Chain A
Amino acid sequence: MRKIAILGNPNSGKSSVFNRLTGLSAKVGNFPGVTVEKKVGTIRLPSGLSVEIMDFPGVYSLHPNSKDEFIVTSILTNPKDSHFPDLVLYVADIMHLEKQLLLFSQLVDLGLPIILVLTMKDLAEKDNLKIDLDILKSAWNFPIYPINARTQEGMTGILQEIDLQLIQPGISPQQQYKLSYEEQNAVNGLNEVITSNNVYQTLLVAHYYKQLPHLLPAQADKINKVMSRQGFNSIAFQIRETMQRYDGFTDIVRKAASSGTFKVSRLSEKADEVLTHRWWGLIIFFVVNFLIFQAMFSWASYPMQWIESAFGWIGGLVNQAIASPGWSSFVSDGILAGLGGILVFIPQIAILFFLLTILEDFGYMARAVYMFDRLLQKFGLNGKSLVSLIAGGACAIPAIMSTRTISNQKERLITTLVTPFISCSARIPVYTILVGFVVASTHRIGPFNTQGLLFMGLYLLGIITALLAGWILKQIIKSDERSFLMIELPDYKVPDFKVALQTAFSKTSSFVVEAGKVILLISMALWVLSSYGPKSKMEASRRLVGEMVVAQNLNEQEAADLLANKKLEASFAGTIGKWMEPVIKPLGFDWKIGIALFTSFAAREVFVGTMSTLYSLGTTEDYGTIQQRLAAEKDPVTNQPRFTMPVAVSLLLFYVFAMQCMSTMAVVRRETGGWKWPIIQFLFMCTLAYLSSLIAYQILS
């Protein structure tokens, strides 16, 4: 299939163009071998031809500063790469045209056919900025389309033009950059080592041969010798090239612009006086975040209930349809429970990403990154880590995936490692059940409900721990790589809600795929461990239940709940819980909590379901019922309540700190390229959880 690449600077409107062209056909993936996000969609052109559209990371230049930027250079210097495009849609913001053509000018020199797409046509018209397209066309010999992505104006013309260009590509005959004598010498030297028809492509190889994956080691060695012989000064040549290119296209654009210059949005600057103000800026940031999380939890509660009900209903149907109790239990408790455990979080994640995209599109997130950069730097993080830390409030998986915009490897790694400390939505059911044992729901401190304050305290504890862990990792991880922020603060604009919906959809889909695979597998494995056990133990538990049913005259439901309870106790999971007991006893936990901790390592929310089974509550997930049952549980030795305040505090601390999410570990493994960091993260978080629970329990009890 022919490939069309969408390229452009960050904030050029590139993603809007991609979303408008591809709609819901877009899929999010990774470029092979790296964790740089790739968005791909398929569209049918007016001629009937289907083409693949790829949205490349937004970059300013082919001289890269980050992993995202390097992938673009890497692909465009290798025509044999499977992502090498047949045609480029170069997207530039018409309002900032003279600052967005550096990359364009480099693409021209790579000999790529290009359609120049100018976004923000509506804003230009409003500001009475007119661009003489003929001047631009005569300078570069490429088709140019001003568009308004919001109303789709101009989009049809682009589709027709893609058709035309694929048949008869237009290529600019004129080289934009004139190489210096030394650069030309380097290119000539390289022509003996690599095959290339394009001078600028060879020049880029001269700059980046040490990192380009498509070069064989022997080739890289030969190039290294040529470059060393020539004394190739990469930085000096990059500056020379950049300046020469700017000189070239700035004159053309200024000639084409009606007003001779581009207007600056005074309104955005006025807004920034407040939104990035030393005090007001911070207050507004916290209010905005408070509102986001309010919306996330309140709006999501209804669809979450619907999803839970739907899974309950499907489980019922499965139980009726499958005669074999074993298979029926496997499907409903193993597969459906696993699927439900993932899908129930979709509303919260979708709402959070929808609102974050709205804020990003509006231009606010860049300001938040700018405001918090210095603070986060002190903890080994980057201003851009803020986006991951906020997203971590819903789920660590998409949050960790969003670290890809951080160019510095060390800051990116630290963000990946500390984000799971932020309390995600899977911890909420656990907190909800346990806070009741710490403080009564009616207790108040002044106008505030104490349980609410405790809840907030648990969130704050997660945030503070994330920052402290970042500070520790900053001291431990050594890196000479320079750290950059350089973030553009774009004009504020009315967010495109359709694009925000599409982004939320694609991010949520990638969460379901990423988390789904792991949780489903683990859920099935846990079902096996919870359903099977040593034969003698399982038979003994069945006999015991039979005797108890007769002796206590239990009804059918009570008998089924009791059987589930005793089966779990006799199962492999129960055996593991009992093995764990000596280790977790100093934390105030017994073997039953041990089973819940063990099953929670698949995903934290499994705690609730496990507790229901352990305390013979069947499949109920009603927090009030579980709380009452736990409150009535007595310690068989002391006959005192099992769930006391010290036990609840200890358990809460364990859930705040422990790494109990296999899907997150799988994502960390993928993002860091191996098991080393997820294992370190797991050990660090679990040790911290153990020690804090131990100290808390020993002091409080």
Chain B
Amino acid sequence: MGSIASLVRESPFGQTYYVKIDGLRFGLRKNEIDVIQVTEL
């Protein structure tokens, strides 16, 4: 949808990620971010 997603950090126990999508922040699992284009770590 033309959104820019960026991966900010991994959770303390791993495999869950703090992701920013167009200014909104989400906690997402690996399988959930696989469908998003992650542009930066």
* B29/A373 in contact, CB under 8 A: yes
Chain B: residues with Cβ within 8 Å of the partner, total of: 21
* B1/A487 in contact, CB under 8 A: no
- Contacting B at CB under 8 A, from A432-456, are none
* A374/B27 in contact, CB under 8 A: no
Residue in A242, A370, A482 whose CB lies within 8 Å of B27: A370
Q: Is A24 interfacial (CB 8 A cutoff)?
A: no
Residue in B8, B13, B20, B28 whose CB lies within 8 Å of A486: B28
Given A374-B13, A374-B15, residue A484 in contact with residue B29 (CB < 8 A): yes
Closest to A367 in B: B27
Given A371-B11, A484-B32, residue A383 in contact with residue B25 (CB < 8 A): no
Q: A272: which B residues are within 8 A, CB to CB?
A: 8, 18, 25
- Contacting B at CB under 8 A, from A332-382, are 366-367, 369-375
* B16/A268 in contact, CB under 8 A: no
Q: B25: which A residues are within 8 A, CB to CB?
A: 268-269, 272, 488-490
- Cα–Cα, bound, A581→B21 (Å): 63
Cβ of A670 to closest chain B Cβ, rounded Å: 30
Given A369-B27, A486-B26, A487-B26, residue A374 in contact with residue B16 (CB < 8 A): yes
Q: Is A181 interfacial (CB 8 A cutoff)?
A: no
* B24/A374 in contact, CB under 8 A: no
- Contacting B at CB under 8 A, from A449-494, are 482-490
A-B contact count (CB 8 A): 78
Cβ of A8 to closest chain B Cβ, rounded Å: 15
- Cα–Cα, bound, A383→B25 (Å): 16
* B11/A374 in contact, CB under 8 A: yes
* B1/A489 in contact, CB under 8 A: no
Chain A: residues with Cβ within 8 Å of the partner, total of: 38
* A371/B13 in contact, CB under 8 A: yes
Cβ of B29 to closest chain A Cβ, rounded Å: 5
B-binding segment of A275-283, A648-656, A658-666:
A275-283
Residue in A242, A269, A373, A486 whose CB lies within 8 Å of B11: A373
Q: B31: which A residues are within 8 A, CB to CB?
A: 482
* B26/A246 in contact, CB under 8 A: no
Q: Is A96 interfacial (CB 8 A cutoff)?
A: yes
* A488/B23 in contact, CB under 8 A: no
* A374/B14 in contact, CB under 8 A: yes
Cβ of B23 to closest chain A Cβ, rounded Å: 4
Q: A96: which B residues are within 8 A, CB to CB?
A: 23-24
Q: A370: which B residues are within 8 A, CB to CB?
A: 11, 16, 18, 27
Q: Is A139 interfacial (CB 8 A cutoff)?
A: no
* A282/B1 in contact, CB under 8 A: no
Question: 0/1 per residue, A262-293, Cβ < 8 Å to B?
Answer: 11100011001000111101100000000000
- Contacting A at CB under 8 A, from B1-41, are 1, 8-9, 11-16, 18, 20, 22-29, 31-32
- Cα–Cα, bound, A483→B29 (Å): 9
Cβ of B26 to closest chain A Cβ, rounded Å: 6
Residue in B18, B27, B32 whose CB lies within 8 Å of A383: B27
- Cα–Cα, bound, A268→B12 (Å): 18
Q: Is A99 interfacial (CB 8 A cutoff)?
A: yes
Cβ of A482 to closest chain B Cβ, rounded Å: 8
Q: Is A243 interfacial (CB 8 A cutoff)?
A: yes
* Supplied contacts A264-B23, A276-B11, A372-B11, 5 more A-B pairs, CB within 8 Å: A99-B22, A269-B8, A281-B12, A486-B26, A488-B26
16 sampled A-B residue pairs with Cβ under 8 A: A98-B22, A99-B22, A263-B23, A264-B23, A268-B25, A269-B8, A272-B25, A276-B12, A281-B12, A370-B18, A373-B11, A375-B13, A482-B31, A485-B27, A485-B29, A489-B26
